[in-house]
Amino acid sequence: MTIVVKVGGAAGNALDPALDELANRTDYVLVHGGSDEVDRLGAALGRPAEYYTSPSGVVSRKSTPAHLEVVLLALSGAVQTRLVAGLTARGRTAVGLSGVDGRLLRAHRKQGVRAQVDGRVVRVEDDRSGILDSVDPTVLRLLMGAGIVPVVGPPAADARGELLNVDADRVAAAVAVALSAAALVLLTNVEGVRRTAEDPESLISRVARSEIDGVLALAGGRMKKKVLAAREALAGGVGSVVIASSQGKDPVARALAGSGTVFE
């Protein structure tokens, strides 16, 4: 059985525990984001990221062409290489893939992206955000069949090879669906979904399918995207989805054993 593990790139995420653990198995695809690296590199290049909040309350970066360049540099040039090198250093062979490699992540451009600004809804201009249409698992299967770990990150590409920014959690869900994965583990900088964002005691440990939309309404900001990803993965036939902490030893095994928030 295949699993998909997504590691986060935001502040507070640990990477070494997951790499230490994942170096001992080959039954998975590793998916990554890298928001911290994108922010850092954008600042170093004098192109800080801009965010907008959609009318439904989801916070996203503006994907201008200049920003998409920064995303690509940060994800393919820094985060992905770090993960591949980290697995290699631990004895595991890996290959980094963006969505254009092997036509892995196919998207189309989001039309009419809108944002809330000062209570008004305005159009986001020149946005290169994509909506993920399909995952072609050919190259993933090819690599896994040879014992090589695929390490996958945004962006995706349209049919003409034009790059489009997509959310890494949604990528992880789509990859899990394409591989009929037994489980999707989304590691993050908190222990799971909380009923109240500021209260660590309010962790939700189990979410049945019928409850997901309710949890979606509770979750804010980036956690909302993870819950959306969980919903998409379950709807696509993935056995279970766990949102769990990246901190501490064996975070993947602990997540699969039921720590964090389990959607099933």
Tell me, what DSSP letter sits at residue 79?
A: I
45 binds a second copy (CB under 8 A): yes
CA distance 263 to 247: 20
- Choose among 75, 55, 69, 56: nearest CA to 122: 55
Cα 65–Cα 71–Cα 16 angle in degrees, nearest 5: 175
Site string for a second copy, 114-153 (x = CB under 8 A): ------------------------xx--xx--x-x-----
* Contact of 156 with 99, CB cutoff 8 Å: yes
Buried b (16+ CB within 10 A) or exposed e, 72-83: bebbbebbbebb
Q: Which is nearer to a second copy, 80 or 245 (CB)?
A: 80
Please report how the helices 221-235 and 168-178 are oriented relative to each other, as an axis angle in degrees rounded to 10: 10
Choice between 86 and 260, CB closer to a second copy: 86
Q: Is 102 in the site for a second copy (CB under 8 A)?
A: yes
* 156 touches a second copy (CB under 8 A): no
Stretch in the footprint of a second copy (CB under 8 A) among 56-64, 66-74, 120-128, 237-245: 66-74
**Residue 35 near a second copy by CB under 8 A:** no
CA distance from start to end of the chain: 17
Interacting residue with a second copy among 123, 160, 196, 210 (CB under 8 A): 160
Binding to a second copy by residue 180, rule CB under 8 A? no
How far, in Å, CA of 216 to CA of 88, rounded?
A: 37
Considering only residues 30, 124, 135, 157, which one is a binding residue for a second copy as defined by CB under 8 A?
157
By beta-carbon proximity to a second copy, the closer residue of 42 and 192 is 42
Residue numbers of the site for a second copy (CB under 8 A)? 41, 44-46, 69, 72-78, 80-81, 84-89, 93-98, 100-103, 138-139, 142-143, 146, 148, 157, 160-163
